[in-house]
Structure 1
Amino acid sequence: MRLIEQAWYQNHWLRWLLLPLSLLFWVLSSLRKWAYASGLKKSFNAGVPVIIVGNIGVGGNGKTPVVIYLVKLLQQMGITVGVTSRGYGGNAESYPLTVEADTRAEQAGDEPVLIYQRCQVATVIGPDRVANCQRLVEQGCQVIISDDGLQHYRLQRTLEIVIIDGQRRFGNGWLLPAGPLRELPSRLKQVDAVICNGAEAQGDELQLTLQPGHLVHVASGKTLSVDEFQQAHGKQAQALAGIGNPQRFFDTLAALDFQLHNPLGFVDHHKFIATDFEQFSSQQPLLMTEKDAVKCREFCPQNAWYLPVDGVLNEADAQHLTQLINTRVLN
């Protein structure tokens, strides 16, 4: 675990040194939010409903599975939906960038490419979310889902959905950089739904479960169920994860009865290069997340497989979210 994460989640003494910077962060972010709320700074209406899927902290909390869940839900309702994202980790020559079938993760970022490949949905990335939304409206989108952007108050929103990591929760509860939070937990009282990922939901939170799919061979696209895979390759495996909370992925593999040898976590959005794989043996399967796989298909070793996951809500929570969308977004 990085030193800064020890301060956030293990109460390392470093947090006290960073506390003055957190106070400054709180002052500046509060002033910025007030400026938009008072009209001093102008916010923009996209012209169609906008659903924000965000968080109050840093790191991966499970936003992408929720975005995919919402995209598929709206598509089933017959709604033309689009997705906007900052495209973190991407380096496009110009913005807004519309993700296409041949767009690489180096251009658009790993999550937008994953969302596009999974859903075949209009996806536009760039630092200016207002411009992104305008591009999506031009493409005929009736509803826009913003992947992240809870704190992007320049963009008006119809619905706010916040995802929290059920295991880490809010860490030490402090704002950046002394803690992992962009906004205080009190912000959750103002949003429309809070979804808990990775542990038991608390209070009025909705419960998200990540349901593993079939394992996919990175190079060829061949798929095997977990049982078929373990019959063919055994249960011994190596693993890597470049996501916000790598341990969540390793726990998922362990729950599937894989016996992992020295699983290796990378920082979120890690830009893989071929030499990253030299430390792994070619004699055992190497398992990774789908988010990792979109960044390294061209140079992955032949023993690399990824495990896609789908976000699943129980029946009551799914009905609640559907009703929320029907009443707040589609009416």
Structure 2
Amino acid sequence: MSESFGQKIRSILDKPLSKKGFFFLLLSPILYLLSYIVSIIAENRRNNGYLLLENINSNINFKIICVGNILIGGTGKSPVVQKIALIYLEMGWNVAIASRGVGNNIKEFYCCSEVECNLSMLSDENREHYEILKFSRKKSSNAFYILQNKKRIESLNYLYDHINKNNWNINKTIVILDDGLQHFACPRHINLCLWSPHLLLESPLFTIPVGPYREGYGKKNFAFLLDHFNYRFWSRTKTQNNNEFKNRINNSLQTFSISPGEKDIIINYKTLFWTIKIAANKVYLEKNISENEVFSIFQTSKNPLLLSGIAHPKQFLNDLSFLLNTKKYNFIFLNDHSALNAFVYEKINKSDYIIMTLKDFFRWYNDPRFYLGIKNKNILICSVDIQFLNYNLETISITHILS
């Protein structure tokens, strides 16, 4: 069993101040000063506001939605981005996901579903977006794009030119800015901010390195941020826990003297299980499999391994409790978006059943040592599907609130 240094640091950031330990107490004057400096920089940038659409190109008239958070990571942005994209695709819209990409040596790269492209150029999360949209798309009369560029404004200009070149309906085109709340140089019509009621109630209300946030310093600033964005997306819970989750949201908002309302959207989720097909050096999502099928295969394994390089692997571990509580297993929790190392290769080689997220798989599958390690072994790939509820726990149409 192994947990990376980065994961341990993240868990310390999430802890209440009273539980951070002696080492934090010793360094607290310096850490609070650094946190204050980070928050001042973030506040100044936010006060300047986002660039307006008419200031870059008065002819760009597609809808731009931003999905992000003020946490360091791990609130479940990817499933929200994918779900919104899939809903609009099924309605016959052209859909683009614009992201900077995450990882080493990210290159500017634009990918359209109607054109053969080198998918190895995509970052892990962008490759996940592409595969989910490709697998789930039911219509061929509309296109989807993955736009990877640190400067999302350039992605918008590329999209505008490409759609006009192909004579597609630009009025039925939506752009989803993935993790763009802190990217002020790109315009948008609506900002969706993902929040965790658990962290709001338990973690310190400060930016790093005191708390797990990118913005905010103290209760007053967090009250402003909670009310600042168009919608608060609360991530995330399962159906059987809806009422408990709603109570935690209410308790979170009451702490800041905010009343819940139409701005509050609850994210229900379920875990999806996939099989992967590898052929001619290409990888495809093959099919979904049920919990019963997963359980049956897992019970035949002798040395299972849970391998993760995501921000909150303990939530992932909890989602798999129906499986993992039945027998002994090993786990390795790497840093978010981390590469593999010699220790991990050794564990992979000794395992006969490997469980990982879809994002993790696409981060590592081009690594020859990883590929050789998983070859001819049972691999379980997991992703998340979601639905949106209002504060009264009623299913809502996301297109209605985004219109």
Same fold (TM over 0.5): yes
Q: Using a 3 Å threshold, how does the CA distance of structure 1 residues 198 and 265 change in structure 2: closer, same or farther?
A: farther
Deviation string 1:236-271 (CA, Å, 9 cap, x unpaired) is: 632111111001111111145654523221111112
| Structure 1 residue aligned with 2:123 | 109
Deviations 1:92-135 (A, max 9, x none): 45x2543765322xx33111111011113201111101001111
**Paired residue for 1:253?**
320
Indicate the residue corresponding to 1:310 in structure 2: 385
Q: 1:127-206, aligned counterparts within 5 Å?
A: 127-140=150-163, 142-169=173-200, 171-184=203-216, 185=222, 186-199=224-237, 200-201=245-246, 202-203=249-250, 204=260, 205-206=264-265
Q: Point out the more displaced range, 65-74 or 197-206.
A: 197-206
Deviation larger for 224-233 or 274-283: 274-283
Establish whether residue 216 from structure 1 lines up as the match of residue 266 from structure 2. Answer: no
| 8 Å CA contact retained: 1:218, 1:305 | no
Does the Cα contact within 8 Å between 2:128 and 2:358 map onto a contact in 1? yes
2:365 is the counterpart of 1:297? yes
- 1:324 pairs with 2:401: yes
Of residues 108, 118, 123 in structure 1, which corresponds to 2:146? 123
Partner SS for 1:270: coil
- C-alpha change, 1:115 and 1:73, in structure 2 (3 Å) is same
The whole-number CA distance in structure 1 between the counterparts of 2:182 and 2:125 is 19
Deviation at 1:191, TM superposition (A): 1.4
SS of equivalent residue, structure 1 residue 3: helix
Larger relative helix fraction: 2
CA distance in 1 between counterparts of 2:276 and 2:357 reads 12
The one-character-per-residue Cα deviations of 1:66-106 (angstroms, maximum 9, x if unpaired) are 0011001111222211110010115245x2543765322xx
Give the equivalent residue in structure 1 for 2:47: 34
The normalised TM-score by structure 2 is 0.71
| Larger Rg, first or second structure (1 or 2) | 2
- Which residue of 2 is the match for residue 48 of structure 1? 62
Residue type of the alignment partner of 2:340:
F
Cα displacement (A) at 1:35 = 2.9
CA distance in 2, matches of 1:263, 1:85: 30
Aligned pair 1:21/2:86, yes or no?
no
What number of residue pairs does the alignment pair up?
321
Q: What residue identity is the alignment partner of 1:189?
A: D
- List gaps (5 residues or longer) in structure 1: 327-331
- Which of 333, 346, 351 is matched with 1:265 structurally? 333
Q: Is the 8 A contact 1:53 1:148 kept in 2?
A: yes
The 1:167/1:282 distance shift into structure 2, 3 A limit, reads: farther
Which residue matches 1:329? none
8 Å CA contact 2:193–2:232 kept in 1: the answer is yes
Root-mean-square deviation (CA, aligned residues, Å) is 2.9
- CA 1:282–1:167 in structure 2 vs 1: closer, same or farther (change >3 Å)? farther
Per the alignment, residue 255 of structure 2 pairs with none
| 2:111 partner letter | T
Q: Which amino acid aligns with 1:310?
A: D
Identical-residue share of aligned pairs (%): 21
Distance in 1 (CA, whole Å) between partners of 2:78 and 2:271 is: 14
Give the TM-score of the pair, scaled to structure 1.
0.85
